[in-house]
Amino acid sequence: MATDNKPTDPHRPFALVGLAVTGILAGAALGALTNSINGRVSPLYFRNILGWHDFEDVWRASIAQGIFEGLLFGLFLALVFTIVVGCVSRARCSYGFGVGTLIFMAVAALVCWAVGGLLGMGLAALSPEFYRHAFLRVPQDFDEMLRYAWVGGSIWGIEFGGFALTILGSFLFYARWQRRAAGTP
């Protein structure tokens, strides 16, 4: 049985293109999903941070913002990951093999989003005074502050998590590719 590391295996540049496009679209989808929740949790966050005081429908605008930012993050992170996949596999990786790691990274990014939101809320609950002084335009009402903290923390969670997961995902792909080349499960 031939492994993907043998020179006789075909180059798959279109699989790499597909992987890059999937990564970019995953970023947009994650941005839409997370901001559809965040826009409901604290519209005040978007009004205060993005200056959307004249927007009637902050929720829809937050989804559009999530798609936009997700596309930008997805573009950069998918480019990095696709370059790693292309170099490690010498452009011989199938789409299905590469997308397995990408799916792991997307699911883990959602976990980072939730953990970031919880950490933000925890920080605000632990020391409301510190939170109000450390972050911009935090509301005085405690419940609204917690919702505000969820949104800010979750956004930081998915953004920083996305960067970390691109690095981790690259190492995981490398390890999976080496195991496959060695013929071990």
Please indicate, yes or no, if residue 93 is contained in any of the structural domains.
Answer: yes
Q: What is the dihedral of CA 44, 52, 151, 40, to 10 degrees?
A: 70
- Reduced to 3 states (helix: H, G, I; strand: E, B; else coil), residue 166 is helix
pLDDT of residue 102: 97
pLDDT of residue 9: 73
Please indicate, yes or no, if residue 3 is contained in any of the structural domains.
Answer: no
Please indicate, yes or no, if residue 1 is contained in any of the structural domains.
Answer: no
Please indicate, yes or no, if residue 152 is contained in any of the structural domains.
Answer: yes
Please indicate, yes or no, if residue 4 is contained in any of the structural domains.
Answer: no
- The C-alpha angle 49, 23, 164, rounded to 5 degrees, equals 65
Taking only the tens place, the pLDDT of each residue in 99-141 is 999 999 999 999 999 999 999 999 999 999 999 999 999 999 9
Taking only the tens place, the pLDDT of each residue in 67-109 is 999 999 999 999 999 999 999 999 999 999 999 999 999 999 9
Please indicate, yes or no, if residue 112 is contained in any of the structural domains.
Answer: yes
**pLDDT at 2 > cutoff 80:** no
Please indicate, yes or no, if residue 149 is contained in any of the structural domains.
Answer: yes
**Burial status of residue 181 (CB atoms within 10 A of its CB: 0-12, 13-18, 19 or more):** middle
Q: How many domains does the chain have?
A: 1
Please indicate, yes or no, if residue 7 is contained in any of the structural domains.
Answer: no
**Structural domain range at position 28:** 13-182
- What share of the chain in percent tops pLDDT 90? 91
